[in-house]
Amino acid sequence: MVTTLQDYPIVPPIRVKDRPRPRRLETIQDARAFVDEALSLRRTPPWRELKARFDRVQSEEDAFEAIGALHDVLAAEELLA
C-alpha cells in the first residue's frame, strides 16, 4: 500500500453504523468522504469542526488527531458499529 501525504491508513478501521450494513473507514480519504457526506445531513458544530480538521491534514500526526476526533464524535452520536 502506498501512503501519500493526503492519505493514511486507519488501523484498526473504524466501523460506522450505516445502511444497509456497517461502513468501514480504512483510510483518511474514506473518513474525509464520510465526513463530507455526514456534513450534508448534519450541520452541527462538531461535524463542521471535523471537516476543518480533515481539510488541514498534512502529516501523520494531523491524520491521527483527525481520526481521534472523528471517533469521539461517532461515539457521542452512537454511530460506532
All cell numbers assigned to 25? 473507514
Residue boundaries of the structural domains of the chain: 9-76
This prediction has a pTM of: 0.85
Q: What is the spatial distance between Cα 60 and Cα 28, in angstroms, rounded to a whole number? A: 10
1 has a pLDDT exceeding 50: no
The model's pLDDT over 50-80, given as tens digits with 9 standing for 90+, comes to 999 999 988 889 999 999 999 999 999 999 9
CB-CB contact of 7 with 33 (8 Å): no
Rg (CA), the chain: 12
Q: What is the spatial distance between Cα 53 and Cα 13, in angstroms, rounded to a whole number? A: 19
Q: What is the spatial distance between Cα 49 and Cα 73, in angstroms, rounded to a whole number? A: 10
